[in-house]
Amino acid sequence: MKVCWHIKRISGKIFREKMSDILALVNSVPNSNWNSQKLFETFCERLEYCLMAVKAGKIVGVLLAYEQEPQEKLGINEKHVFIRRLCVAKEYRGRGIARCLLLKMFTSLTARKAVFLQTNTDNPVNELYSRMGFSRHTTVRIEGHKDNIWKM
Ligand SMILES: CC(C)(COP(=O)(O)OP(=O)(O)OC[C@H]1O[C@@H](n2cnc3c(N)ncnc32)[C@H](O)[C@@H]1OP(=O)(O)O)[C@@H](O)C(=O)NCCC(=O)NCCS
């Protein structure tokens, strides 16, 4: 099957209109149980690095990231871009959409900035990040589980 999707910035308008679609994707991360208020409060004022993959008008993947100050509890001691969520709809996985979202975000950075993200050590997606060239920065224990902190 020919797959054709586009990667676009998530505007404030799209963010508000497509909140439930974005929320469904966000909650496809294991153990994630966000509600629309959390999604809105976390991203509505900081969509600069947020991207979506769209196929035939439908959002099939999102990368949600923001710039933030050093995070001592994650062992990150520099200002950085933090990828909070990277999610692709089940039926579109394995076709390079996550890779495209990541590459687009990197090319959109206007200056050299460190990029970090956090994943549960049990999540198979850890493989994706090492394949994409991220290096394991550290491992932290948070609320009883272990998370890898990846850096690019
Ligand atoms: C993780 C996720 C975003 C990957 O999306 P995707 O579009 O299927 O990924 P891609 O097709 O772009 O794959 C990119 C690379 O990662 C690898 N990869 C992707 N998912 C993988 C997995 N679950 N296990 C191992 N490797 C994986 C692919 O083999 C590919 O490597 P290659 O290009 O060298 O062959 C998707 O599986 C998902 O939404 N999962 C649920 C949400 C989640 O856990 N997100 C991560 C935490 S925020």
Binding site membership of 87 for ligand 1 (Cβ less than 6 Å): yes
- CA of 124 from ligand 1 middle (Å) equals 8
Domain of 62 in residue numbering reads as 6-151
Separation between Cα atoms, residue 94 and residue 92, nearest integer Å = 7
Q: Mutate which of 5, 50, 93 to test ligand 1's pocket (most atoms within 8 Å of Cβ)? A: 93
Residue 102, in any domain of the structure = yes
Structural domain count of the chain? 1
Instruction: Determine the atom of ligand 1 nearest the C-alpha atom of 30.
Output: 44
pLDDT of residue 26: 96
Q: Mutate which of 22, 43, 125 to test ligand 1's pocket (most atoms within 8 Å of Cβ)? A: 125
pLDDT of residue 98: 94
Residue 1, in any domain of the structure = no
Q: Mutate which of 123, 128, 145 to test ligand 1's pocket (most atoms within 8 Å of Cβ)? A: 128
Separation between Cα atoms, residue 150 and residue 130, nearest integer Å = 8
Domain of residue 109, CATH code: 3.40.630.30
pLDDT of residue 1: 54
Strands in 135-142's sheet, in edge-to-edge order, are 6-9, 51-55, 58-68, 80-88, 115-120, 145-151, 135-142
Residue 70, in any domain of the structure = yes
Residue 17, in any domain of the structure = yes
Per residue of the chain (152 residues), what is the pLDDT tens digit? 566 899 999 999 999 999 999 999 999 988 889 999 999 999 999 999 999 999 999 999 999 999 999 999 999 999 999 999 999 999 999 999 999 999 999 998 878 889 999 999 988 889 899 998 999 999 999 888 899 999 99
Residue 12, in any domain of the structure = yes
Separation between Cα atoms, residue 104 and residue 49, nearest integer Å = 10
- CA of 131 from ligand 1 middle (Å) equals 10
